[in-house]
Amino acid sequence: MEEAKGLVKHVLLVRFKDDTTPDQIEELIKGFANLVNLVNLSTGFTHVFETTFESTEGIAEYLPHPAHVESSKRFLPRLEKVLVVDFKPTTVHA
């Protein structure tokens, strides 16, 4: 099998434990963000927006929805760079 070439995106979705304080969350987020500087991972993106849909039908309804279309008309002209990734999460069992 030939190794795939090109960009690789690493998306980390988390839910902090209920007993994690806001200060601890802030510290962890800052530490994670600093990894970009330490490991030179920066690709120039500054924000991440994530939405979860229950099915592919849900996202198919969302994309052409008038509210989404109007929001996109305001949002997209202000963006220098954009990447949209839709994927179905999988679980890896070690």
Which tens digits make up the pLDDT trace of 22-32? Answer: 999 888 888 77
Question: Does 71 map to a domain?
Answer: yes
Contact partners, residue 81, CB within 8 Å, separation at least 6: 44, 45
At a CB cut-off of 8 Å and minimum separation 6, what does 53 contact? 59, 62
Marked catalytic residue, from 47, 65, 68, 93: 65
Domain count, the chain: 1
Task: Look up 62 and say whether it is catalytic.
Answer: yes
* Token pair 């500054």 in the structure block, residue: 46
Is 10 designated active site? no
Q: Is residue 80 part of a domain?
A: yes
For residue 76, the enclosing domain spans 52-84
Radius of gyration of the chain measured on its C-alpha atoms:
17
Helix residue ranges, H only, the chain: 22-39, 56-62, 66-75
pTM for this model (two decimals): 0.54
Domain-embedded: residue 17: no
In a domain, 7, yes or no: no
> 47, 62, 68, 93: which is the annotated catalytic residue?
62
Percent of the chain with pLDDT over 70: 70
